[in-house]
Amino acid sequence: MSLSKRAVACLSAILLSAISGFAQSNFGSIRGVVSDGSGAAVPAAKVIITDDGTNAKITLITGADGGFSAP
């Protein structure tokens, strides 16, 4: 392999590594729907999400369709 082909291959690998590094994140989200035993949505239900690592809690109330979303 010639020097210029090696340089292009090396730069391509570095560029791809940098791009994939930017795509990673420590953030996510949780979405769901609360429903009863018959499958009907439960509006105004209290949902508590707890981070097991930090014990931080987020409390949400479901919407009219039983849905909730948390960052």
Q: In 1-71, at which residue ranges do the beta strands (DSSP E only) sit?
A: 30-33, 46-50, 57-61, 67-70
Tell me the pLDDT band of 42, cut-offs 50, 70 and 90.
very high
**Can you give the pLDDT at residue 4?**
61
Output the pLDDT for position 27.
Answer: 77
Question: What's the pLDDT band for 21 if we cut at 50, 70, 90?
Answer: low
